[in-house]
Amino acid sequence: MDIIYLNGEYVSKSSAKISIFDRGLLFSDAVYEVISVINGRLIDMDRHVSRLERSLGELSINASADWSAMSRNLVAQNDLQEGVVYLQISRGVMDERDYRWPSPDTAPTIFAFAQPRVLVANPMADRGMTIITRPDLRWQRCDIKTTQLLYASLMKMEAMAAGVDDAWMAHGDMITEGTSQNAYIISQDGVLISHQLDRRILPGVTRIEMLEQAKLMELTIEERAFSIDEAKNAAEAFVTSSTLLVMPVVEIDGHRIGDGRPGEKTGKIRQNYLAAVQRASSTTN
């Protein structure tokens, strides 16, 4: 995976350099996308592009490029079969450190790279994830996919220290999302509950297709916040993200979910999700 994209050129990792006055570096003034690649094809690229353009718009970062072609080139040049493409755009380079934005015609810094990763045959899908809950102390615009990921990273480290796989964050008692995934439960009476789209969560690309598949399975869907207690008493729980796809959760704060094994409905949703995105990607790229 030696070839990366930087500001219009495909170069080797070791020759890619950016300025220390880049706003992405000094202020996390940057947005990003992580796109999964399965069988050498980008999954749900159009939805990633829409979200990226929305993130750029919310922060008034002027950047445009053929994001899909750039990502496809990286997959091809690195011969990536399964893994992710990471795309990042910052507001660009300042003359000196200043909170105020440089002029709007400052060139953004755009880079992208590819990384191999096992997505489909992830053994975690068979054993299920264990999680802890922690307060959500992030900023109030979690709907924008910025590179300000320090709190999420701290919570991931707390999860590791607690001997579990990850953390779900909560405002008071109400779960928002995982450190880098959207969070869901299926209640004892079979209702799939997903936090509503608002400023407290990232509008996940995987979430959109997962909900489509759940609808086809005729599951009742409620888009609302759910409490930590509701989650502990749920029949099933799971997360979605471009790297974990649809991943069962089997333990929350030490409480077993259901019988402690990945839920049946979750397994079916994962299967159907995978079939649908692979079908779609084979015709679009």
- Which residues are the active-site residues? 145
What span, in angstroms and rounded, lies between the C-alpha atoms of 236 and 268? Answer: 12
The amino acid sitting at 52 is: L
Does 243 sit near ligand PDD (CB under 6 A)?
Answer: yes
| Sole window of 10-18, 63-71, 98-106, 179-187 interacting with ligand PDD (rule: CB under 6 A) | 179-187
Output the smallest distance, CB 69 to ligand PDD, in A: 20
Q: Select from 24, 83, 204, 262 the one that contacts ligand PDD (CB under 6 A).
A: 204
| Interface positions, 158-177, toward ligand PDD (CB under 6 A) | 177
Phi–psi pair at 186, nearest 5 degrees: -120, 120
Nearer of residues 23 and 200 to ligand PDD, judged by Cβ:
200
The amino acid sitting at 198 is: D
Does 202 sit near ligand PDD (CB under 6 A)?
Answer: yes
Residue whose structure tokens are 């091809």: 76
Residues 237/260, Cβ–Cβ less than 8 Å: no
Residues 24/111, Cβ–Cβ less than 8 Å: no
Total binding residues toward ligand PDD, as defined by CB under 6 A: 14
Q: Select from 242, 266, 272, 281 the one that contacts ligand PDD (CB under 6 A).
A: 242
Does 205 sit near ligand PDD (CB under 6 A)?
Answer: yes
Q: Dihedral (C-alpha) 50, 72, 119, 56: value to the nearest 10 degrees?
A: -30
What span, in angstroms and rounded, lies between the C-alpha atoms of 228 and 234? Answer: 10
Output the smallest distance, CB 162 to ligand PDD, in A: 19
What span, in angstroms and rounded, lies between the C-alpha atoms of 124 and 126? Answer: 5
Does 108 sit near ligand PDD (CB under 6 A)?
Answer: no
Binding site for ligand PDD (CB under 6 A): 34, 177, 180-182, 202, 204-207, 240-243
